[in-house]
Structure 1
Amino acid sequence: MNKDYNIGVFDSGLGGITVLREISKLLPNENIIYFGDTKNVPYGEKTQEEIQILCERIVRFLFTNGCKLIVIACNTASIAAYEYLHKISPIPIVGIINSAIDSIPNNTYKEIGIIGTPFTINSGEYPKKIKERDENLKTYSVGCEKLCPMIEKGWENFSDRRVILADYITRIPKSAEALLLACTHYPLILNDIKDIFEGDILDPGEECAREVFRTLKNHNLLNSKNEKGKIEFYVSGDKDIFQKKAQEFLGYEINKIFKVNI
């Protein structure tokens, strides 16, 4: 496979740009295609079968458009579809959930909180995987039904956003020393989270970028060119809201976003 091919990154909407940013910082010469399934967001309210169908379409789209590796930059999709996609994909797949577990430093905390979509939290995957690695680490999980849709629609447009956020976070005991962001949308509101939660905030994006590097290296697919890679953006729904929020977070202008129906 051509090393110049793209890294495909996808999410249910905006959240995956938090992972995209970390990948582009670590691997600036890699070409990246980002797909935000803004037409079908949020995934957290869908069934596993529905999520798998949506994810398979996206993977086929990314592979057809010259991707050499695909990142599931969505916790819900990683839990619902990683194993399925891993079996059918002709190229390597990286899921955010393994990176999230690896972002928890060893032997550092006794108790941590986890916030994510209802699907992610109800799956029980995070406590299960954390327990496999550290049976003494106690976890508290809270499903945050309203956060992802609010972030997609424009977080700052909701006057009660901090009240809603505080209601979720304060369900986690004060004894929790760290908070794991088990949804890639949440770093988009990181400052508000830091104002409410007093402990450490664990964002898996950086660890996911390192996993992408390791996977590309192991498959001999790292781009060897010295020039800066290009980034293309595709969405399935509204382009304007995505463009505004993505530009604010990434810190640069996105000249063109393609809307596709897959």
Structure 2
Amino acid sequence: MSKDYPIGLFDSGIGGTSIWKEIHALLPNENTIYLADSKNAPYGLKTKDEIIALSMKNTEFLLNKNAKIIVVACNTATTNAINELRSKYKVPFIGIEPAIKPAANQSKTQTIGILATKGTLNSDLFHEKLSHFTNVKVIEQIGHGLVQLIENGDINSPEMNELLESYLKPMIDQNIDYLVLGCSHYPYLIPQIKKIIPEHIQIIDSGEAVARQTKKVLEKHDLLSKTTEASWQKFYTNANPRVLESILNHEYSVFEKDF
């Protein structure tokens, strides 16, 4: 496999670009292909079998584009499908999970909050990870409606603010000091979240950790690009490309493709 082949990433929509940005910042010489399955968002409301089927379809799209490694830039797809993907395909996979460990280890109030999709919070993998942190009280909150609003480009809408307040206020009242964002869409809500929560509450997402793990796995498989030429970045969506272009600050072209 060529070292110049791209890193492939997929998500249920535009949220995984928060992961892509961290990977591109750490590995600027790597070519990347990003796939937004916005037509089927949110994955969090689908069954495990549906999530696995969509994840396999996305994987095969990226493999047909010569992806040398695939980042499942979606918490719900990771927690429901990563084991099946790794058993079916030979390419290395990087998954993303809610960053419970740093929050649990650093919490002084022994109470942390996790905002995630229903699909993530109900998954076996999430509960298996959670079982290792019995030293803290974990307040789980499903972010009903958040992904849909982000996919529609309504990040700064009054409806978004109302939803966030209704999800975060109970956590604040229970004295959390860490808020874990368990969906790759949610980092785009950090400015609004910071207006609602007290300053002492720390927000944690998985982006930087995923980027470091991607580099580590590429090194392990001797797949890090050695080129000095400018890298290229390609973005595909099966929905309105304007929302994805906006999230990318109109710096990249987005290809609309039915997949």
Contact 2:79 2:124 in 1 (8 A): no
C-alpha displacement of 1:44: 0.9
What's the counterpart of residue 179 of structure 1?
Answer: 179
Q: Distance in 2 between matches of 1:101 and 1:208?
A: 14
CA offsets per residue over residues 191-232 of structure 1, 9 Å max, x none?
001111220000110100001011111111111123332110
Q: Distance in 2 between matches of 1:41 and 1:23?
A: 23
Contact 2:103 2:180 in 1 (8 A): no
Tell me, yes or no, if structure 1 residue 197 matches structure 2 residue 194: no
What's the counterpart of residue 259 of structure 1?
Answer: 256
Spell out the pairing of 1:109-258 with structure 2 (5 A cutoff): 109=107, 110-123=110-123, 125-132=125-132, 134-156=133-155, 158-172=157-171, 173-198=173-198, 199-247=201-249, 253-254=251-252, 256-258=253-255
Q: Distance in 2 between matches of 1:82 and 1:4?
A: 25
Q: Distance in 1 between matches of 2:170 and 2:145?
A: 15
Q: Distance in 1 between matches of 2:240 and 2:84?
A: 28
Deviates more, 1:1-10 or 1:147-156: 147-156
Spell out the pairing of 1:77-92 with structure 2 (5 A cutoff): 77-92=77-92
Tell me, yes or no, if structure 1 residue 96 matches structure 2 residue 93: no
C-alpha displacement of 1:137: 2.4
Output the TM-score relative to the length of structure 1: 0.91
C-alpha displacement of 1:74: 0.5
Q: Distance in 2 between matches of 1:96 and 1:74?
A: 6
Contact 1:131 1:137 in 2 (8 A): no
Change (3 A) 1:138 1:124: farther
Deviates more, 1:22-31 or 1:112-121: 112-121
Q: Distance in 2 between matches of 1:106 and 1:136?
A: 8
Q: Secondary structure at the match of 1:5?
A: coil
Where structure 1 has 5 or more consecutive residues not aligned to the other structure, the ranges are none
Q: Secondary structure at the match of 1:221?
A: coil
Q: Secondary structure at the match of 1:52?
A: helix
Instruction: Please tell me the residue identity of whatever aligns with 1:142.
Output: Q
Change (3 A) 1:124 1:55: closer
Contact 2:121 2:127 in 1 (8 A): no
What's the counterpart of residue 12 of structure 2?
Answer: 12
C-alpha displacement of 1:161: 1.9
Residues matched between the structures, number: 254
CA offsets per residue over residues 55-81 of structure 1, 9 Å max, x none?
101101101101000000000111111
C-alpha displacement of 1:259: 1.7
Instruction: Please tell me the residue identity of whatever aligns with 1:81.
Output: A
Contact 1:178 1:201 in 2 (8 A): yes
Output the TM-score relative to the length of structure 2: 0.92
Contact 1:14 1:246 in 2 (8 A): no
Contact 2:18 2:187 in 1 (8 A): yes
C-alpha displacement of 1:156: 4.2
Q: Distance in 1 between matches of 2:80 and 2:93?
A: 14
Q: Secondary structure at the match of 1:78?
A: helix
CA offsets per residue over residues 118-158 of structure 1, 9 Å max, x none?
111223643531332x3312211000111110111122463
Contact 1:44 1:118 in 2 (8 A): yes
